[in-house]
Amino acid sequence: QKEVEQDPGPLSVPEGAIVSLNCTYSNSAFQYFMWYRQYSRKGPELLMYTYSSGNKEDGRFTAQVDKSSKYISLFIRDSQPSDSATYLCAASSGYALNFGKGTSLLVTP
């Protein structure tokens, strides 16, 4: 069983909706958390990087980490068709990066 679990979706939402993407992890030593976005036939692109618990906001994107429940979230406000992609979460204890399998998101006009 992977140390980082992620629902593969697909998740389909209308344009303008708030999107919530989630991961759970099992290793309590994880302290570094990342979200990547991957467009079709492209490499993963770093979206958000957070350390320990709490929230981080960047434009329409908010990353949230709850270490007590081992839960990682990414919220996308005012979603756009250009947000349609696969989103991968990742976590690290400072030794190796552990990826979830990715959630496929489709934002329909």
Partner 1 sequence: NAGVTQTPKFQVLKTGQSMTLQCAQDMNHNSMYWYRQDPGMGLRLIYYSASEGTTDKGEVPNGYNVSRLNKREFSLRLESAAPSQTSVYFCASSDFRGNQPQHFGDGTRLSIL
Contacts (CB under 8 A) with partner 1, residues 14-53:
31-32, 34, 36, 41-46, 49
Contacts (CB under 8 A) with partner 1, residues 49-108:
49, 88, 92-97, 99-102
Residue type, 3: E
34/49 Cα distance (integer angstroms) = 4
Min CB(5)–partner 1 separation in Å = 10
Min CB(12)–partner 1 separation in Å = 19
Whether residue 72 contacts residue 20, with contact meaning beta carbons closer than 8 Å, is answered with no
The H-or-E segment that residue 47 falls in is: strand 45-51
78/70 Cα distance (integer angstroms) = 27
Residues engaged in binding partner 1 (CB under 8 A): 2, 8, 31-32, 34, 36, 41-46, 49, 88, 92-97, 99-102
